[in-house]
Amino acid sequence: MKNKYVIYIVAIITIALIVSAAFIYFNYTSANKSKTSTQTNISIVDDEGYVTNLTSIPQRIVSLAPSCTQILFAIGVGDKVVGVTTYDNYPYNFSAWVAAGNMTYDGGYGTPNMEAIASLNPGLILTDNINDASLPSMRALGYNVLVLNPTTIAGIYHDISLVGKATGTETQATAVIENITNTINSITTKISDAHVTSMKVFYEIWTPPLMTAGSTTWINDVISKAGGVNIFANETQQWPTVSSETVVALNPDAIFLPTEMGVSPFYGSVAQVEATPGWNAISAVQNNRVYVIDGDLFAEAGPRVADCVYAVASDLYPQLFNSTS
């Protein structure tokens, strides 16, 4: 009787163990299937509304814009970038990488080299809207192409998140966004707490013809976050052509001139800008508040946007940001 009782107990325990093991195995398998499905069926809607379906996380990525390259390296997938443009110079000197055979130039900015791209066999191509004319042929060849074209700082955050989703690095992308957000918030808080008077800003992006940034640009957002007021914020065109006379009439307190990428500035020099007929009446000229800023930095809508906000804010309010005390 005693032996039967022991056998009975052992049988009960064995059955319980088998049922528990089966339960654990089933749930573990289901969870892993769900996880794998999430990782290998990724649907992305880019900034032009195009839907790209990725069946696997891309291991070879080509960037056709410096801003895209910077996002990729910021979220930790720089090791998967196999091609960059000849205009890429951040966060590394890629020319040395190319010379060493560790990376390939895939064309200039706006002039993609399709032969070079094909040789790289990319699983994903990132670009901004400068290559819109080439997109149909790229996609016809079977390439997965995402277009990033943010018009606000929030749009830049969205694009960083989008690239994180496409590359399986959403956690890293979120951390990058939080870091940028915290930096910009600290700048805006300092300006707000100082109760300074907002300064009117003219941002010149080209001449001739004289062009600037309108309300639907992330540059307009940068100026606003930096405590300035874009004098052409009422313009709905992204990069409107404006008249010299209108600039005089709107009388900006500060003028910003970007350096041009790798070549002489389009405006010549600050002295030439200040000598523009009629501009001697502008407050910015009278008070020596014509500033030259990094054209590369302000042409790239990416993870360095907080640096853009700081650059403008420190020029507008040096008493808040350039103090050594």
Bridge partners of residue 42, in order along the sequence: 54
pTM of the model: 0.86
Measured CA to CA, the distance from residue 202 to residue 204 in angstroms comes to 6
Say if residue 18's pLDDT is above 60.
no
Q: Tens digits of per-residue pLDDT, 204-260?
A: 999 999 999 999 999 999 999 999 999 999 999 999 999 999 999 999 999 999 997
Q: So what's the pLDDT on residue 144?
A: 98
H helices present in the chain, as ranges: 2-40, 66-74, 94-99, 114-120, 135-140, 153-166, 170-194, 218-225, 244-250, 270-274, 283-286, 305-316, 318-321
Are 226 and 316 a contacting pair, CB within 8 Å? yes
Q: Which residue has the higher pLDDT, 81 or 32?
A: 81
Backbone φ/ψ region at 140: left (φ over 0), alpha (ψ -120 to 50), beta: alpha
199 Cβ contact list (under 8 Å, min separation 6): 227, 228, 229, 253, 254, 316, 317
Torsion (CA) 60, 54, 177, 112 in degrees, nearest 10: 50
Write the CA distances from 4 to 9, 29, 66, integer angstroms: 9, 37, 77
Q: So what's the pLDDT on residue 257?
A: 96
Q: Tens digits of per-residue pLDDT, 142-190?
A: 999 999 999 999 999 999 999 999 999 999 999 999 999 999 999 999 9
Please name each of the domains of the chain with its CATH number. 42-174 (3.40.50.1980), 196-321 (3.40.50.1980)
Measured CA to CA, the distance from residue 122 to residue 84 in angstroms comes to 12
Q: So what's the pLDDT on residue 325?
A: 43
Q: So what's the pLDDT on residue 262?
A: 56
